[in-house]
Each structure stands twice: as C-alpha cells, then as structure tokens.
C-alpha cells in the first residue's frame, strides 16, 4: 500500500514523470509528504527515501537542511514572522512580541491546543510590504498588529 | 609535464596533478583535514589554502590542478604555476582556520584517545595560536553511540565529512549523514540504522580528530605508549596490511596500513578486532606431556625426550604397521610449512591438509576493497608447498600424528577428531587448548598469529611478511624451529637454518622458483605470479 | 520612460497567456526556434551586454557560450527564482504578473544551448507564485508553446517548476543545482563550472528570472536598443526593489543609471522618506552589499560602475533605506544573524565565523561588548571573507561567495558607524 493518499500518489507519479532521475524528486515529494502529514516524521522520511531509491540517511541529510521542512509536529496554523532587516525596520520584532504574549508561547513553540505555532523566520522575499507574516502558506503583508490580530482571531 | 615553482623550489610534475600531491611528493607539507586520497574532493575544511601567482584568492591545494600554461602565460617565461605554501597570507589563513575549528572544541586532549595522533593537536602546535579570542559559551552536545563499537563526540568533530564520504564512497553503506546546517551541523545516523557494515571501524581511522573513537580501546592506553608492529592480517586470504599497537605483549588495537595492491587504506572489522579471540585463558604457556592420562607441564628438554622415546617405542611396537601422519593447514606461514614438509618427507609421512577454510562470504566494496571467503591467510602458500596433500577429512589411522594448531573459530570435525584419537602418539603444536589437547600425548607451545614472523601468500598471489609483536623471547622456539627440531630429534638430521630469513630464501627458491630476501619483503610484497 | 518588464503589471489578467499573446508575446521565442541559429542568439545576447540580474552581473551571452556543443549529454537551463537576498522582492512581481515573459526568454536561451528540459527554481515560500507558474506552463503547453515540437518545429522543450524549501544559499547556482538533485544545498567547489558539469553532471546554465524576462524585448528591439537604454557597462532597464524607511516601498523598473535620489524621493517612485525623517544610510544592492552613508549616496546613479565606485555594488538591485533613528548596531546584528542562520556549514570559516560574529554582536546589542571586540569583528571579516580594505577588494576564504557576502555588510557597518559601536562599549 502506498504511503500517499490516492490523490497524492497521483501527484507523486506526476512528479516522477517530470524529472530525469528519482533523487531529484526529493524536495517535491518531501513537500507533498509534509502537506499530507503536517510534518516529516522519521517514518515519512524513510518512505520518501524509498520512493526516491536512496537511503533514509541520505534523505535526512537533505530534509534537515531546509527550514521549511518540519521534523516535529506543528500547530494547525503556523504564524511565521519575518525578522530580517526590512521587516525588522518595519516593526517585525513588535509583531513577534505581540503574538508571543497573546498566545502565551515563545517563538518556536506551539500552543497547548495545537492550534498555533509561532515561528521567527528569515527573509520571505517581500521586503517592501513589511512586517511580513506568513500564515501557513499565505503571505499577509503590510498589516498593522490590530489587523493581524483580527485575521488570527477569525481562525 | 609542467614546471612549477613551489616555495622557491623548481618541481617537474605531470599535468593534472593537484598542488597538494605535488607538494607531498616533494617533501612540502600542506596541512589538510577534509582531503583524503580515497574520497571525492570537497575542499571544505579550508586548511590547505595556498597562494598561487595570478589568483587573487587563496586556493585549496587539494582541488587545484596543475597544468601547462600557454607559452605567453608562463611566469618568468618558464613556470606554469608559482605557488607559495608559507607566505604570510597562507599562514594567517591556517592560523585563523584553526582558531575557528577550536572555537567550540572542548580542548579535552588530556582525556582524549586521539591525543598524540590528532591533526587538530599537531596543526595547532605547528600553525595555530596559543590563545583563543573566543570568550563566548561553547556549544556542548552529548556523545553518541554510532553502532559497530564506535563512539561519536560531536564536540570534537570538525565536520570534515571524511566519515560520511567513507560510508558513501568506500563501504557504500551510506549510514552517516550531516544533519541540520551551518553551525548546528552534526554528523548523524538515521534513527535505528546505526553504522552496520564490515568496514565500519575505518571511520575511526579516517577521522583526523577525536570525534570517532573505537569503544574497544577507549581510555585503555595513550597512543604514545604503544609499540607498533607493521604486519599483515591473517583472518582471511586478502592479507590486509596492518599496524598492531601493543604494549608489553598486550594488543590494544589493530589499524590498517596502506597498500594499494591489496587493501588500499582499509581493513575489515573482523580483522581489526580478531585479536580478542586470543585473549582467552586457554593459552598454552609451557610444554606438556601426558603421563598416566594427566597432562603435566614439563621443560622443553622434557617434552623432546618424551617425544623421542615415545616415537621410538611406538615404532617398535607397530613394526610394519608403523605410519606417520602430518596435518598441514593454511594457518601456517610458508616457513612453517616448509620445515613441516621437510619433517614429513624425512619421516615418510602422509600429509593431510585442513581445507575447510572457505567459510566466509566473498565481498567486494564499491572502490574495490575485498574480503575473501577464505578465512585463512595462506591457502596459496599451502598449495605451493604441499602439492598433493589429502583432505584431513580422509585422515587414516596412523601410529603417530603431528597436529599444528588451527586458529580460533576453526575446529577439526568430530569424525576427524575420532580418527586422530586412534593414533598411538599425538604430538600437538599448539598456542591454545583445543579438542586435540584432550587426548594429545605431547603439546609443544606455539606462537599465534600476532607473535610469529614469516611470509604468507594472499589470494592474488602477493607474498607478504608478517611481523611479530614484541620480541619473541617469550618463546624459546619459533614454530618453524620446532618442526626442524623434531626432525633432528627423530631422524637425526635436518636442514640447518639459523633464521627465518634463511628459511624464507629457501622456500621461495625451491617452492616458488623466486629469488628474494626476507628483508626485501619488509619493504614490498612480491607478486608470486610475476609482474610487479 | 521605457519599461520592458513591468509595463503591463497593473492591468487585469496580465499574467495570462491570452494577455501576453495579445501584446506580442512569444514572437521572439518562435523566431528563435524557427529562424535563428544558436550562434545568432548568443551573438545578440552578447551585443546587448545583458548582465545577470541575480547579483553577480555576469554577461548572459558569455555564460551560454561556455556550454560545450559537441558532447552527447543533455543540457539544462535553470531560472533562478530563489529571490533570497534580503531586500530583494523584484522577481516575485515578474513571476506572479508576467510569467510568460520569463518562459519566452527561457525558450530563446534553450535554443541557444540546445536544451530540452528547464527548471524554475522558486523559493519554497512562494507557493502561490509556483502555482501561477504551473498554470502558465499548462496554458503554454495547450498552445504548443511548451512541450513536444514547439511552434511546429522539431524542438522539444519542457519547463518544470521546482520549489526550494527555505535556504538562502540555494540562490548560489551550484547549491541550487545540488538542491534540484535532491541534496542539501551546499555549493560545489569550482571548477568544474556548471557550464561543464552542472545538474546531473551535465552542462547547465543558471540565469535569474529578470535576465530571462529581459530577452524577448532585446530580441524584438535589437541589442543596440537595449544598450542605449542604459549607461556604459550597464545596459537596459533594471528592477529595483526598494524597502525600508520610505513612504512607498516597491518594485520600480527604471533605466540603468537612474539617480538613487530620484528613486527615493520622486513621487512616481518611493515619494520620499517615511514621516520625513532624514536618511541615514542605504544598502544599495541587497543585504550583502556594503552599506553607504547619506554622504556617499549623494549624486549616486544606479548602475554597476557608479555603485562600485562608491564602494558597494548593484547586486540584485535591492535597496534598503534607513533613516536617522536606525540603530546601526542592531542592523549589523540583524544581518549577521541572517547569515549565521543561512550558512550551509560546509566551510570552516563560514560555519564557525558567522556563529561567532553573532555572539560578539549580541554583546554589542545587549551588553558586554569590549573595545577589542571591534577589532575582532573586523578581523573575522578578513578571516571569512578575505576582506581587509574595500579598495583592495575581497578574497573570500570559502568555496562560495557567501563568506564575502557576510563580511561586506559587517565590515562596512562597523567601519562607517564606528561611534555607534564604540558607544556600546562604553555603555557596558
């Protein structure tokens, strides 16, 4: 039985059809696996390694390099606040402090109910609209703390 | 050919050679960590930087290749490359790279087994600084068990990745990887997949620092106290070249010694740890003979008298039925086999050979390192010296039997042992007690694997020299001398060899048709089948 | 003012194939495939003096010409959409508003190097943009612009969108290649260069998104037209991403050689300093480029030579503007922290040095800085980046330019705003 759901298995097959070799599919498959599982457990990494025909150790070598791959469970909503220069000049530090206080967690932590994770991240590539917050996959750009609050409260 | 100028010295070198190899071949040391001649060049430790004319950045000498320059690009009209390995820029780069490497290093040399053969220590002494400018807290991470008896200390690790590349390129087993990135980088194993391959121990040798240590010898001895015997491993028919580190006749560790014809830089774990097989309480220390069904210790004179008298008695008793059997084995050196064959010949003995040594699995690794399926060191030598010996499984009933010892892990089959028991007189030449000891009439103490000197022939026909640990004064007789002595004793005459070198020259001439000296063999193996 | 990349981005559906085709899209790709030889294409690119828009400024035509022709290996083309350099957000505009123009350029380049499979390496966080690209590829395939026998020729060409996963270093071309190969993004030691051994050891060209997007207008209007748009050594228009303490941050397409003052103060661009607090300093070409003081940017024009003369570099065209209230020690810490976080960890000086820098700088921001730490910071920039004196250039001691990229901003900040650092020493 495949590790992926039927729909994701089709996606995986489509990925394999696009690349000239299997290992090159590592990043797309890790993304797909993470979207299905929420994070990359060792078991997941092993499964993806098997699909790419490499050792789990080699897949871990790859997966652990990239900050977007989580190797522990994350909250349902990841509040990722950019802290690099332009966003910092635009008040990103205050945004982090605000959410830390509001959610009663430190950056890097997840709320007890598993709903929110607060993460400080480095440059998200949208420096003109700081402070930038990436809520799961979506960019929320140039919003005040009050506006951000409303977005979070509606979740 | 290219002409280069390195530190003012003119060097002719073939196109395509690296700066690092040109330096080493000409006596110029360039410190390096990540470079290992068996592995892919990664150029990441940045320790081997040198200054090259016309290149504004310092270059890694491990990866920079030398090639002939176009005529109009030659420096001073003749040099293809001008290199400085000792300039101020180079010295500063080395010093600061060492400073970086030591930032988070625990500086625990007093309790580190690598001390004394640590490249971090050596290079710091030679190129580094005596004080650190780092006043911050060091990263501290726990030691880890990587499996196969290897302990990893991430705090001492310099991330040269030799160990990772070893498992990817040499053993091909790929257990090790890097985890995380940047300063959080660490060598790791995947959850429940520890180092598990027959060559795992080599990662402790390729590690230039104390980050990968064998638990086997951990904290047992400081390396500068070791004596080292350069010898050849006897656990299989490959004959990997090894260094046996010992002190006062106790072996602490065995490490591989480079030989590109046989084992490259490597050895297998079976050979590495095999010396423990000899750490039993079964060692036969003194000659013994059986009196009233009791084995009692006697002097060498005592045992020789016993053998002579009993041999004569049995011959007399058996009359026409008298026969002698001798068991040869591939665990013996050429010199031992040679004097044993002399003994056999003079006694008109039937010779048997122990043949069941192909009990291993033939293994070949990605770069060509091999483990033989023959777990004895000298089958090829045995074949040359005893051309028509019968399988010991066909052992007949003999009046007198001479049985030299096998090696740990090997035993004669029960039926062979039963057959042996039928002999009137069993003379065992043994290093350890075995099933034979239970019924042997006389036992002559022998040297084991690590104690004897002589030559063996590997499966590809390489004749190599085994060297003993320590001085063999512990033994009154070398094994080959025992066979000579027995011949003298029982026949009244024997060849007069005064040294193993002499036996070697004779066996190599008579049985192999080669002219060679034992001293020469110390420097270089001889190919039995001609060629190099 | 002439625009060639962003002239339509305010218009509805500007990202669609229909829109692009209506405005003359893919005519140049079609011409390249059906009518032009590789040599002709490379010649035009060379004549246009189009320099790589990702940061290094290497001439694109020259890069293509390094691809060997007479070998039996596939050749690969990669569009670098990693957009990782802090301050840079220009490519995102092209990817989301004008993806077909990049593909158009990629087809032209593919013909030049005889490539049949290309990748767009897009930073992992740009998931929406990756979807836009994938949709655009599907549209183009339907119209036989991508896929088998494109434009009815016998030339096959496919583009695969490959998402990164959060690693700045993957903007470096060999790290990017490693990343597509499914490995950690560690830059390779060079030589061999990607043109000889790139993706899967095959010849590979990596160009920035903006570089590819610049090709169709160049091929439409001619190389000389492009050269004339800019100034000496800096041809064409360029996208500048301007962020920081300005009224209207954003991406602006202007000809090379436009005065920085105009970009910051003119209403059609940033419209002046936010809250009218005076300008203190500017990072002109992305976080790696040495910072310039208000005095140093006086009269500065935005082109390769002028910025280099001023002691910095054009880089990716990412301008970060800072006002009088900015704490430069904090800026230095912020940037050093970014680099420590992003160091791949391969080379000793970078792996250890970046982590050391932030530990020292942390003492400057939070107490405990010593006078000798200033000298130490500067010395570390030499030990990682080979940087002693900007006028002498820098000669990094690491495999890739990351070592220099961290050393430039740190050294420039410490040297140019020394009193602020010294003040922290006294404060302890």
What tens digit of pLDDT does each residue of A45-71 get?
Answer: 999 999 999 999 999 999 999 999 999
**A38 and A82 share a domain?**
no
CA dihedral for B460, B464, B468, B474, sign (positive or negative): positive
Interchain contact C179–B (C-beta under 8 A) = no
Interchain contact C357–B (C-beta under 8 A) = no
Q: Which chain C residue lies closest to B64 (C-alpha atoms)?
A: C191
Peptide bond into C409 cis (omega under 30): no
Distance CA B469, CA B446 (A): 15
CA distances from B464 to A30, B49, B339, B453, B501 (A): 52, 39, 18, 11, 13
pLDDT (tens digit per residue) in C40-85: 999 999 999 999 999 888 999 999 999 999 999 999 999 999 999 9
Residue at B128 is within a domain: no
Contact A42 B191 (CB under 8 A): yes
Distance CA B223, CA B78 (A): 47
Residue at B258 is within a domain: no
CATH code at A134? Answer: 3.40.30.10
Query: What is the mean predicted confidence (pLDDT) over C86-98?
Result: 97
Q: How far is CA C270 from the centre of its chain?
A: 21
Interface chains of chain B (3 or more CB pairs under 8 Å): A, C
Mutate to test the interface with B, among C182, C348, C399 (most CBs of B within 10 A): C348
In the listed set A65, A88, A110, which residue is the last one of a domain according to the structure?
A: A65
**A90 and A50 share a domain?**
no
Q: How far is CA C213 from the centre of its chain?
A: 13
Q: What ipTM score was computed for the predicted complex, to two decimals?
A: 0.96
Q: How far is CA B72 from the centre of its chain?
A: 51
pLDDT (tens digit per residue) in B303-325: 999 999 999 999 999 999 999 99
Interchain contact C187–B (C-beta under 8 A) = no
In the listed set B65, B97, B129, which residue is the last one of a domain according to the structure?
A: B97
What are phi and psi for residue C329, nearest 5 degrees?
-70, -40
Quote the minimal CA–CA distance from B184 to chain C in Å. 8
Q: Which chain C residue lies closest to A62 (C-alpha atoms)?
A: C184
Full DSSP string of B169-209: IIS----EEEES-GGG-EEEEBTTB---STTTTHHHHH-SS
Q: Which residue, among C328, C175, C241, has the nearest Cα to A125 in the 3D structure?
A: C241
User: Pairing mode, if any, of strands B176-179 and B186-189?
Assistant: antiparallel
Interchain contact B523–C (C-beta under 8 A) = no
Residue labelled with tokens 């995380």: B180
Query: For position B141, what pLDDT does the model report?
Result: 96
DSSP bridge pairs for B9: B6
Query: For position C229, what pLDDT does the model report?
Result: 95
Query: For position B17, what pLDDT does the model report?
Result: 97
Residue at A71 is within a domain: no
Residue at A11 is within a domain: yes
Distance CA B416, CA C389 (A): 84
What are phi and psi for residue B443, nearest 5 degrees?
-125, 125
Contact C160 A52 (CB under 8 A): no
DSSP bridge pairs for C322: C281
Residue at A72 is within a domain: no
Residue labelled with tokens 């218009």: C11
Q: Which chain A residue lies closest to C323 (C-alpha atoms)?
A: A89
**A41 and A84 share a domain?**
no
- Number of domains, chain A: 2
CATH code at A16? Answer: 1.10.10.1590
CB < 8 Å from A in window 327-356 of C: 330-331, 334-335, 338, 341-342, 344
Q: How far is CA C261 from the centre of its chain?
A: 22
CB < 8 Å from B in window 278-317 of C: none
Are the C-beta atoms of residues B480 and B454 closer than 8 Å to each other?
A: yes
Are the C-beta atoms of residues B434 and B411 closer than 8 Å to each other?
A: yes
In the listed set B97, B121, B151, which residue is the last one of a domain according to the structure?
A: B97
Residue at A92 is within a domain: yes
Residue at B352 is within a domain: yes
**A12 and A52 share a domain?**
yes
**A144 and A81 share a domain?**
yes
Residue at B125 is within a domain: no
Distance CA B156, CA C135 (A): 50
Contact B181 C397 (CB under 8 A): no
Quote the minimal CA–CA distance from C279 to chain A in Å. 13
Task: Identify the DSSP state of B237.
Answer: T
Residue at A1 is within a domain: no
Residue at B202 is within a domain: no
**A81 and A139 share a domain?**
yes
Residue range of the domain that includes B90:
2-97
Quote the minimal CA–CA distance from C282 to chain B in Å. 28
Residue labelled with tokens 């090159």: A24
C282 CB-near residues (< 8 Å, 6+ apart): C260, C264, C291, C292, C294, C297, C319, C320, C321, C322
B331 CB-near residues (< 8 Å, 6+ apart): B234, B354, B376, B377, B378, B404, B405, B406, B407, B410, B449
Full DSSP string of B82-134: EEESSSHHHHHHHHHHHHHHHTT----GGG-TTTTS-HHHHHHHHHS-SS---
Query: For position C382, what pLDDT does the model report?
Result: 95
Which of C87, C166, C334 faces A66 most closely, judged by CB atoms?
C166
Are the C-beta atoms of residues C84 and A126 closer than 8 Å to each other?
A: no
Residue at A18 is within a domain: yes
Contact B193 A61 (CB under 8 A): no
Quote the minimal CA–CA distance from B202 to chain A in Å. 19
Residue range of the domain that includes A11:
6-65
Radius of gyration of chain C (CA): 22
Q: Which chain A residue lies closest to B195 (C-alpha atoms)?
A: A57
Task: Identify the DSSP state of B472.
Answer: G
On the question of pLDDT at C21 being above 80, the answer is yes
Are the C-beta atoms of residues C163 and A25 closer than 8 Å to each other?
A: no
Q: Which chain B residue lies closest to C359 (C-alpha atoms)?
A: B136
- Number of domains, chain B: 2
Which of B92, B100, B133 faces C348 most closely, judged by CB atoms?
B100
Are the C-beta atoms of residues B23 and B6 closer than 8 Å to each other?
A: yes
Interchain contact A64–B (C-beta under 8 A) = yes
Task: Identify the DSSP state of C221.
Answer: H
Residue numbers in A near C160 (CB within 8 A): 18-19
Residue at B218 is within a domain: no
Peptide bond into C192 cis (omega under 30): yes
Residue at B469 is within a domain: yes
Distance CA B487, CA B482 (A): 9
CATH code at B387? Answer: 3.40.50.740
Q: Which residue, among B168, A24, B38, has the nearest Cα to C202 in the 3D structure?
A: A24
Residue at A51 is within a domain: yes
**A105 and A148 share a domain?**
yes
Q: Which chain C residue lies closest to A70 (C-alpha atoms)?
A: C165
Residue at A49 is within a domain: yes
**A40 and A93 share a domain?**
no
Interchain contact C209–A (C-beta under 8 A) = no
Are the C-beta atoms of residues B442 and B310 closer than 8 Å to each other?
A: yes
Peptide bond into C191 cis (omega under 30): yes
Q: What is the signed CA dihedral for B294, B296, B300, B305, rounded to 10 degrees?
A: -40
**A58 and A95 share a domain?**
no
Residue labelled with tokens 């036969």: B284
Where b means 16+ CB within 10 Å and e means fewer, B395-410 reads: beebbbbbbbbbbbeb
**A85 and A60 share a domain?**
no
pLDDT along chain A (155 residues), means of 10: 89 97 98 97 97 97 98 96 96 96 96 96 95 96 94 92
Query: For position B474, what pLDDT does the model report?
Result: 67
CATH code at B8? Answer: 3.10.20.740
Full DSSP string of C356-400: HHHHHHHHHHHS---HHHHHHHHHHHHHHH-EEEGGGEE--SSSS
Q: Which chain A residue lies closest to C320 (C-alpha atoms)?
A: A86
Task: Going residue by residue through chain B, which has 532 residues, state the pLDDT in tens, using 9 for 90 and above.
Answer: 999 999 999 999 999 999 999 999 999 999 999 999 999 999 999 999 999 999 999 999 999 999 999 999 999 999 999 999 999 999 999 999 999 999 999 999 999 999 999 999 999 999 999 888 999 999 999 999 999 999 999 999 999 999 999 999 999 999 999 999 999 999 999 998 999 999 999 999 999 999 999 999 999 999 999 999 999 999 999 999 999 999 988 999 999 999 999 999 999 999 999 999 888 788 898 999 999 889 999 999 999 999 999 999 999 999 999 999 999 999 999 999 999 999 999 999 999 999 889 999 999 999 999 999 999 999 999 999 999 899 999 999 999 999 998 887 899 999 999 999 999 999 999 999 999 999 999 999 999 889 999 999 999 999 999 999 986 566 789 999 999 999 999 999 888 899 999 999 999 999 999 999 999 888 788 888 764 4
pTM for this predicted structure: 0.95
B177 CB-near residues (< 8 Å, 6+ apart): A57, A58, A60, A61, B164, B187, B188, B189, B190
Query: For position B388, what pLDDT does the model report?
Result: 84
Residue labelled with tokens 């130490």: C376
Distance CA B18, CA B187 (A): 28
Quote the minimal CA–CA distance from C398 to chain B in Å. 7
Q: How far is CA C321 from the centre of its chain?
A: 18
Interchain contact A56–B (C-beta under 8 A) = yes
Query: What is the mean predicted confidence (pLDDT) over C256-272?
Result: 97
Query: For position B199, what pLDDT does the model report?
Result: 98
Q: Which residue, among B464, B21, B33, B41, has the nearest Cα to B263 in the 3D structure?
A: B464
Q: How far is CA B183 from the centre of its chain?
A: 37
In the listed set A65, A91, A113, which residue is the last one of a domain according to the structure?
A: A65
Residue at B102 is within a domain: no
């Amino acid at each position: 039985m495949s590790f992926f759901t039927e729909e994701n298995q089709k996606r995986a097959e489509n990925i394999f059809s696009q690349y000239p070799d299997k290992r090159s599919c590592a990043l797309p498959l890790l993304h797909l696996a993470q979207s299905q599982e929420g994070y990359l457990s060792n078991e997941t990494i092993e499964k993806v390694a098997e699909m790419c025909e490499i050792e789990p150790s080699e897949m871990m070598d790859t997966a652990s390099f990239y900050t977007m791959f989580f190797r522990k469970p994350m909250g349902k909503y990841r509040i990722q606040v950019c802290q690099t220069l332009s966003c910092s000049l635009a008040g990103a530090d205050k945004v982090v402090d605000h959410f830390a206080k509001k959610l009663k967690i430190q950056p890097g932590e997840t709320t007890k109910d598993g709903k929110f994770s607060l993460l400080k991240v480095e440059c998200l590539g949208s420096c003109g609209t700081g402070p930038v917050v990436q809520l799961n996959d979506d960019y929320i750009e140039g919003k005040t703390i009050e506006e951000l609050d409303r977005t979070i409260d509606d979740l | 050919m290219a002409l280069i100028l390195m530190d003012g010295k003119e060097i002719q070198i073939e196109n395509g050679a690296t700066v690092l190899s040109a330096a080493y071949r000409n006596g110029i040391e360039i410190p390096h960590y990540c470079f290992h001649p068996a592995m892919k060049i990664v150029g990441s430790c940045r320790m081997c930087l040198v200054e090259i004319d016309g290149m504004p950045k310092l270059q890694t000498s491990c990866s920079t290749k030398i090639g002939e320059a176009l005529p109009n690009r030659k420096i001073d009209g003749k040099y293809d490359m001008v290199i400085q390995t000792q300039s101020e820029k180079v010295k500063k780069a080395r010093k600061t790279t060492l400073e970086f490497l030591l930032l988070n290093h625990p500086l625990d040399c007093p309790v580190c087994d690598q001390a004394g053969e640590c490249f971090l220590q050596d290079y710091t002494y030679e190129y580094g600084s005596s004080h650190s400018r780092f006043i911050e807290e060091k990263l501290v991470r726990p030691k880890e068990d990587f499996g196969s008896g290897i302990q990893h200390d991430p705090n001492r690790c310099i991330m040269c990745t030799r160990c990772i590349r070893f498992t990817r390129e040499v053993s091909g087993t790929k257990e090790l990887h890097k985890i995380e990135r940047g300063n959080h980088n660490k060598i790791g194993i995947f959850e429940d997949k520890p180092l598990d391959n027959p060559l795992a121990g080599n990662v402790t040798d390729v590690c230039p620092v104390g980050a990968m240590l064998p638990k086997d010898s951990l904290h047992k001895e400081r390396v500068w106290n070791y004596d080292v015997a350069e010898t050849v491993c006897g656990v299989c028919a490959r004959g990997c070249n090894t260094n046996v580190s010992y002190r006062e006749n106790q072996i602490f560790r065995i490490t591989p010694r480079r030989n590109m014809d046989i084992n490259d830089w490597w050895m297998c774990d079976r050979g590495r740890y095999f010396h423990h097989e000899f750490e039993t309480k079964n060692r036969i220390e003194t000659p013994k003979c059986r009196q009233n069904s009791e084995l009692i210790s006697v002097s060498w004179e005592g045992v020789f008298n016993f053998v002579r008298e009993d041999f004569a008695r049995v011959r007399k008793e058996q009359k026409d039925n008298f026969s002698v059997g001798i068991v040869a084995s591939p665990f013996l050196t050429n010199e031992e086999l040679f004097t044993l064959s002399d003994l056999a010949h003079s006694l008109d003995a039937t010779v048997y050979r122990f043949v069941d040594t192909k009990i291993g699995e033939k293994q070949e690794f990605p770069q060509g390192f091999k483990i033989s399926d023959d777990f004895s060191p000298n089958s090829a030598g045995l074949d040359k010296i005893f051309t028509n010996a019968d399988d010991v499984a066909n052992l007949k009933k003999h009046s007198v039997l001479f049985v030299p010892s096998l090696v740990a892990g090997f035993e004669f089959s029960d039926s062979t042992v039963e057959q042996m028991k039928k002999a009137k007189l069993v003379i065992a030449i043994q290093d350890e007690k075995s099933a034979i000891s239970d019924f042997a009439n006389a036992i002559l103490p022998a040297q084991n694997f690590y104690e004897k000197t002589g030559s063996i022939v590997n499966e590809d026909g390489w004749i190599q020299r085994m060297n003993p640990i320590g001085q063999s004064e512990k033994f009154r007789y070398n094994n080959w001398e025992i066979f000579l002595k027995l011949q003298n004793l029982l026949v009244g005459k024997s060849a007069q060899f005064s040294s193993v070198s002499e036996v070697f020259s004779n066996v190599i001439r008579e049985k192999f048709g080669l002219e060679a000296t034992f001293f020469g063999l110390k420097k270089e193996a001889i190919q039995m089948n001609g060629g190099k | 003012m002439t625009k060639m990349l962003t002239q339509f981005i305010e218009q509805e559906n500007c990202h669609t194939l229909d829109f692009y085709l209506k405005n003359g899209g893919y005519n140049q790709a079609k011409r390249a495939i059906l009518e032009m030889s590789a040599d002709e294409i490379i010649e035009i690119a060379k004549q246009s003096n189009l320099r790589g828009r990702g940061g290094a400024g290497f001439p694109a035509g020259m890069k293509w010409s390094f691809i060997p022709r007479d070998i039996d290996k596939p050749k690969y083309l990669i569009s670098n959409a990693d957009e990782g350099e802090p301050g840079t957000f220009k490519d995102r505009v092209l990817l989301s508003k004008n993806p077909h123009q990049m593909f158009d350029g990629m087809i032209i380049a593919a013909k030049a190097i005889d490539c049949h499979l290309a990748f767009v390496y897009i930073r992992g966080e740009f998931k929406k943009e990756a979807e836009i690209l994938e949709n655009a590829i599907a549209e183009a395939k339907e119209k036989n612009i991508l896929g088998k026998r494109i434009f009815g020729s016998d030339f096959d060409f496919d583009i695969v969108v490959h998402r990164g996963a959060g690693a700045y270093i993957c903007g470096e071309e060999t790290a990017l290649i490693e990343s597509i190969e499914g490995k950690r993004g560690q830059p390779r030691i060079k030589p061999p260069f990607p043109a000889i051994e790139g993706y899967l050891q095959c010849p590979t060209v990596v160009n920035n998104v903006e570089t590819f997007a610049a090709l169709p207008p160049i091929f439409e209007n001619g190389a000389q037209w492009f050269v004339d748009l800019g100034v000496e050594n800096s041809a064409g228009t360029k996208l500048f991403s301007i962020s920081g303490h300005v009224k209207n941050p954003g991406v602006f397409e202007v000809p090379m050689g436009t005065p920085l003052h105009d970009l910051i103060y003119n209403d059609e661009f940033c419209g002046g300093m936010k809250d009218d607090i005076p300008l203190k300093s500017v990072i002109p070409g992305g976080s790696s480029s040495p910072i310039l003081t208000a005095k140093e940017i006086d009269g500065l024009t935005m082109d390769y030579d002028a910025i280099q003369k001023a002691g910095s570099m054009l880089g990716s065209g990412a301008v970060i503007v800072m006002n009088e209230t900015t704490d430069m020690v904090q800026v230095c810490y912020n940037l050093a922290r970014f680099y420590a976080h992003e160091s791949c960890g391969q080379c000793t000086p970078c792996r250890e040095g970046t982590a050391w820098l932030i530990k020292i700088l942390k003492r400057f921001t939070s107490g405990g800085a010593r006078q000798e730490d200033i000298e130490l910071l500067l010395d570390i920039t030499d030990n990682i980046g080979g940087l002693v004196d900007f006028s002498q250039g820098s000669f990094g001691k690491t495999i890739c330019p990351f070592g220099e990229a961290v050393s430039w901003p740190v050294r420039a900040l410490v040297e140019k705003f020394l009193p602020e650092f010294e003040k922290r020493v006294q404060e302890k």
